Structure 1
Amino acid sequence: MTLESMDFMAFAETYLADEKGEDASKVFNPATGDVIARFPIATNSDVDAAVQRASAAFKTWGSTSPAERAAVLLKIADAVEQKTDEFARIESLNVGLPIGDVRDFVVPTVVDVLRFFAGAARISTAPAVDEYDNESTSWVRREPLGVVGLITPWNYPLLMAAWKIAPALAAGNTILLKPATVTPLSTLKLVEIANNFVPEGVLNLILGSGSAGTAMAKHPGIRKIAFTGATSTGKFVAATAAETVKKVGLELGGKAPVLVFADSPIRQTARDLVTFGYSGAGQDCTAACRIIVEESVYEEFVEAYSEEVSKLVLGDPSDPATTLGPVISEKQLKSVLGFIERARDAGNTIKTGGRQADRPGWFIEPTVITDVKQTDEIVQSEVFGPVVSIQSAKSDDEMLQLANDVNYGLSASVWTTNLARTLRFSKELRFGTVWVNQHTPNVSEMPFGGYGESGYGRELSLHGLDEYSQLKHVMVKPGLDL
C-alpha cells in the first residue's frame, strides 16, 4: 500500500481491528509479543503507481531552488522536534528501544540531520569554474537523479529514514520510501509530518514485504536504490538493480573490532564499552561487539566488563530506568540464541547471560563470551543481539591482524593514550569509521559507510548529498555569437 498523508493513530487502529486480513502485515510490541497494528502489503502495481506519481512530482520538485528545498527541510525538522515525545513513545513501543535513548539521542539526531542537509542543499562541492584548457570555460552542474527508492532497516527506523530522506530531498529527488515490515510506525509519523510541507507526490510511502523492495530495485523509473540492512539482502538488491543500471548505495552489516590496549584506563573503558555494546540490544551494525584486549590486561578487563554488564537494567522500554530492551522479534530471538548455543558447543565460555530472560516478550540476557578463536562463528559473523565476544592478543601487530580478519569493514575503535599507535591504527584498520577512545557517535558533517561486505557509498556529509546527485560537465568555447 502507498500512503501520502494520514491520521497516524486512526490508520493504525483501522488495521488493528482488521483481524481477518490474510495479506496484512502484523506489527508487534517486542516487549510483550502483542500485535499492535496490521497493515496491507504493497503490490507491484502499488509500487508502479507510486513511481508514476513521483515521476510527475519530479517535474516540479526537481526544478526548485536549493533555497526552497532547504526551507522545506527546516520546516520538517522543526515539526519533528515539536513531536519528540510522541516519536519516543512510538519508536520505543514498536522497536523496543529504551524510551530515554529515543528521546535524548535518536530524535535530536534526526532533527540535526534534517537541518544539516537543509544547509548542504545550498553548498556546491564542484570544482571552480575556470578555463582548464586555456580556450574553453568549464563548470559542473549538480543535478538530481529523479525518482529514488529508499529501503530502511528495522533496528533504527526513524534515524535511518532521516539519513536517506534528508539528502534525497536536498538534492531535488522525489522518493519511494519502504520501511522494514516489522517497524513502520515511526516512519508513518515522519512521512505524515513531511507531507505537510513537500508537494504532493514528492514523498511516497510503500508498506510492503521484500517483494515490494524487489519491485523497487527492478523498476526502470527508479534511478537509485539506497538500502540499509543485511549483507545477503544487499547483494540481492545490488544484483537486481544492475538490471536497469541504476545507482546503488549499500549500508550493510558489521562486526566492529574494539581494540583495548594496556595503557587505556581499564575500568572506565569497560564501562563505556558496555554502553556501546548493548545499546539497542546490540542490534546495531556498529555495535562494539568484538573486543580484542592486550594480553597483559585481559583478565582485568574481562572481570571489569562482566561487572559492568551486570548493572544493565533489562526491562520495559517505556520505563526510563531501562537500559536494555528486547530484540525485535521471535525470529531474531531464535537467531541470537542459536549463535549462543553454537558458541557453547564450539567450546567458547559463556561468561555471563546466554539465556532468554524469564519474562514476556523477546528479551535475551546480556551475554559475554570468552575463550574464542578468530575462526569461530561468534567472531566472524554478525549476531545482531546483546552478545559480545572478548579475545586477547599479544602485540600491536596481532591486534591489527585480528581486527582486519573479517569480511566486514564498517566501523572499529581503538582505546589507547599512545599517539603513535592512534595514527598507525587509524590508517591501517580497514573500516569506514575508526573511533579513538569512543565508539558509535556520528556527526552529520562527516561521511559514514563501509569497506568490503559492509557495503559501498556514503551517508551523511556533503559526500552523502553527492550520492543522491549526478554531475554534468559543461564546457563552452566562446566565439559563436555567445
Structure 2
Amino acid sequence: MNSSRPTRLFNGGSTHVVDKKTFHNIIGGEIQAAVDGQMMDIINPATGEVYASAPNSSPKDVGDAYRAAATAFERWRWSTPSERQLALLKLADVIEQNAEELVAIESENTGKPLSLTMSEEIPAMLDQIRFFAGAARVLEGRSQGEYLRGHTSSIRREPIGPVGQVAPWNYPMMMSVWKFAPALAAGCTVVLKPSDTTPASSYWMVEKMQEIFPPGVCNLVCGDRDTGAALVAHPVPQLVSITGSTRAGIAVAASAANTVKRAHLELGGKAPVLIFNDVDIEAAVEGLTAAGYFNAGQDCTAATRLVIQEGIYDEFLSAMAESVANTKTGYDPNDDEILFGPVNNATQLQHVSGLVSRAPDHARILAGGRQRSEAGYFYEPTLIADLQQNDELIQTEIFGPVVTAQSFSGEEEALAFANGTVYGLASSVWTKNVDIATRMSARLDFGCVWINTHIPLVAEMPHGGFKQSGYGKDLSMYGLEDYTRIKHVMQYHGFEGGQN
C-alpha cells in the first residue's frame, strides 16, 4: 500500500531510525504526489512519534481532483442502480477479506485497540456499505400523473453531481464510509479529504476502490485545514459534506454560500443523559461507562452529560465513580481489556486538560482528572460532579474521556438542563416509566433520543442533529436522498379526458 523510507526521529536527545510510510493523493485512478511536493508528518497518537508522511495538497491538487471527478461523473451518473450496487458490494467484500490488515492500519492511525476496532467498527462499516448498495436500487419519486389537463408530470431523482467530503479523525475509516457510500450509491462522484492527522485507513480504502470503480469516481486528496478550505470553496462540487466541529461547520457553510452549493453538516454534540429515580442503577452505570468513554469520548454522540434525579444522585455517582476508576486505558493493541486509547493529537489533549483544569470550585472530580505520564496523548477517564448549567464544562464540547454530572428535581428542570446548550445531536432517557420516556423523547431538542440505552446506530435509521450540531442526515434513505436532486418533467400530450 505504501512506499517506505527511513526517517530520523529525535526523542529525549537520542536519534533512532524508523520505517516511515508515505501516503499519497489518488486522483483519476492514479496515485499522485502533491503538485508542489509539500508533505506533512503523521503522528501515532499512542506514541507521540512520527510514523508516516502525507501530501499537504494545494488548491491545484484539489482542482485536479475535481476535474477528474467531473469527467467521471459524465459516465458514472448514467450507471444503473444495479451497477452501483455491485461495485459497492465488491468493496464491502474486499474490506471484509482484508479486515485484519485494515484494522492494524487504523490502530496505528488512531491508537485504538485492535479487537475493539475489529468488533465494533468493521461489522458496522460492512453493513453500512451493503445497506447503501441495496438502497441504490429503491430510490423513488412521486408517482407519474396528470395534474394539468393534457399534460403528464413525473419526477426524476438524479445524482446531485461531484461532491466534496471532509472526514474527521475520531473514526477515520468508518466516517469515510458514511461519506462516500451514499454518494456513490446515488450516482455522484467524490473528492474525499481525510483528516490531516489520520489519512491512513482512508488511503487504503480509496486505493482498493480504484480496482472496482471507474477512474475518477472516488478521489482522495490529503492535506490540512487550508486544503479543506480549497475543497469547499471550489466551484465544481454541488454539495460539500463535513463531519467536524461546529466552528469548522460554520466556516464550511459560509464558504458554500458563495457559490450556492449545498452543505451537509454533522457537527459537535453535548449529549445529555436524563437518569430518573426508578432507573436500574447497575445496568445504567455499565451502559453509560461504555457510552461515555468509548473511543476516549471522541464521539459527537458520547454520553458526556449525566443529568441525574436528586433521589439517586449520590448513589448513582458512587457506582459510576467506581466503574470509571476501574476502566482500563492505554496502548497495547492486543489487550482486550482496554476500553480506549489516546486522544487524537496534542492540540486535543491540551483542550481536554485545559477544560478540566478550569473546573469551578463547586465541582468535585470523582475519578481521573489528569494527563497520563507515558508517551502519547493519554488522558485518564474522568468523572466530574456537582456542575451547574452555565459552567464551561457543561456548555463546551469536551470530546475527550470526561463525563460531567448535575442533579435535577423534576421533569421540567431536566428538560431545561438537557436542552440548554447550543447542541442538538443526541440524547438519552433512562427510566422504567413509559409515560416519562414518551414525554421526554417528544420534548428533547435532539436529532436522536435513545431510551434505556445510548450510542447504538443502525444503517436503516438517520443520524443527524439540530441547532449548532448541523443539518443533513447520515445513514438511512434520508442520507442517500441528500446526494440527489429533484427534477419535474411535464409532457404535453393533448388528451384532456372527460370533455364533451
TM-score (norm 1): 0.95
1:339 aligns with 2:346: no
Q: Is the contact between residue 411 and residue 433 of structure 1 (CA under 8 Å) also seen in structure 2?
A: yes
**Cα distance in 1, alignment partners of residues 244 and 472 from structure 2:** 14
Alpha-carbon distance, 1:51 to partner: 0.8
SS at match of 1:131: strand
SS in 1 for 2:366: strand
Aligned pair in 2 of structure 1 residues 249, 15: CA closer, same or farther (>3 Å)?
same
- How far residue 9 of structure 1 moved from its aligned partner, in angstroms, is 5.5
Match of 2:273 among 241, 246, 258: 258
Q: Are residues 1:378 and 2:430 paired?
A: no
Q: 2:76 matched to 1:54?
A: no
Task: Quote the Cα distance in structure 1 between the aligned partners of 2:150 and 2:442.
Answer: 41
**Deviation for aligned residue 1:317:** 4.5
Equivalent in the alignment of 2:124: 109
Look up the SS of the partner of 1:358 in the other structure.
Answer: coil
CA contact (8 A) 2:42 2:51 kept: yes
> Which structure 1 residue ranges, 5 or more long, are not aligned?
1-6
Distance in 2, matches of 1:458 and 1:8, equals 34
SS in 2 for 1:388: strand
Name the SS of the counterpart of 1:200 in structure 2: coil
Does residue 1:148 correspond to 2:163, yes or no? yes
Counterpart of 1:15 (choices 17, 22, 26) is 22
**Aligned equivalent of 1:328:** 344
- Structure with more strand by fraction: 2
Of 209, 215, 234 in structure 2, the residue corresponding to residue 200 of structure 1 is 215
Post-superposition offset of 1:414:
0.5
- Residue in 1 that maps onto 2:418: 403
Gaps of 5+ in 2: 6-18, 24-32, 496-500
- For 1:3, the equivalent position in structure 2 comes to none
2:9 corresponds to: none
Residues 92 and 127 (structure 1), Cα distance of their counterparts in 2 relative to 1, 3 Å cut = same
Partners of 1:128 and 1:445 in 2: CA distance: 23
The letter for the 1-side match of 2:117 is: V
**Does structure 1 residue 186 correspond to structure 2 residue 201?**
yes
**What letter is aligned with 1:419?**
V
Matches within 5 A, 1:318-467: 318=333, 319-343=335-359, 345-467=360-482
The one-character-per-residue Cα deviations of 1:102-121 (angstroms, maximum 9, x if unpaired) are: 10011111111110000100
Maintained 8 Å contact 1:93/1:317:
no
Amino acid of the structure 2 residue aligned with 1:443: V
**Structure 2 counterparts to residues 14-53 of structure 1, below 5 A:** 15=22, 23-53=38-68
- Cα deviation 1:26-63 (Å, max 9, x = unaligned): 11111111111011211110111111111111111111
Please give the alpha-carbon distance, in whole angstroms, between the structure 2 residues aligned to 1:449 and 1:317: 33
- What percentage of residue pairs aligned between the two structures are identical? 44
8 Å contact kept, 1:8–1:188? no
Match of 2:15 in 1: none
What's the CA shift for 1:310? Answer: 1.6
Q: Secondary structure at the match of 2:22?
A: helix
The one-letter code matched in structure 1 to 2:356 is I
Measure how far apart 1:137 and its partner are. Answer: 2.2
Q: Kindly provide the amino acid, as one letter, of the partner of residue 335 in structure 1.
A: H
Aligned to 1:4: none
Query: What is the CA-CA distance between 1:13 and the residue it aligns to?
Result: 4.1
Amino acid at match of 2:344: I
Map residues 204-283 of structure 1 onto 2, 5 A cutoff: 204-283=219-298
Contact 2:382 2:403 in 1 (8 A): yes
TM-aligned CA distance change 1:14 to 1:264, over 3 Å:
closer
Which deviates more, 401-410 or 471-480?
Answer: 471-480
Q: CA deviation at 1:96?
A: 1.8
Q: Whose helix proportion is higher, 1 or 2?
A: 1
Aligned to 2:303: 288
Provide the rounded CA distance (Å) in 1 between the counterparts of 2:2 and 2:459: 29
Question: What code does the residue aligned with 1:328 have?
Answer: N
Q: CA deviation at 1:320?
A: 2.3
1:76 match: 91
- Give the CA deviation at 1:380: 0.6
Cα separation, 2, equivalents of 1:223 and 1:479: 37
1:137, 1:22 → 2: CA distance? 56
Pair 1:473 & 2:481 matched: no
Amino acid in the other structure paired with 2:353: L
Aligned with 1:296: secondary structure?
coil
Query: CA offsets per residue over residues 170-221 of structure 1, 9 Å max, x none?
Result: 0111110000000011101111111110001111100111111111111111
**Does the aligned pair in 1 maintain the 2:325–2:368 contact within 8 Å?**
no
- Shift of residue 135, structure 1, vs aligned partner: 4.3
| Paired positions, count | 470
2:358 match: secondary structure: helix
Q: Distance in 2 between matches of 1:262 and 1:67?
A: 52
Q: Supply the AA of the counterpart residue of 1:331.
A: T
Distance 1:49 1:206 in 2: 10
The secondary structure found in structure 2 opposite 1:37 is strand
CA contact (8 A) 1:8 1:192 kept: no
For the Cα contact (< 8 Å) 1:31–1:317, is it kept in 2? no
**Aligned-partner Cα distance in 2 for 1:251–1:56:** 28
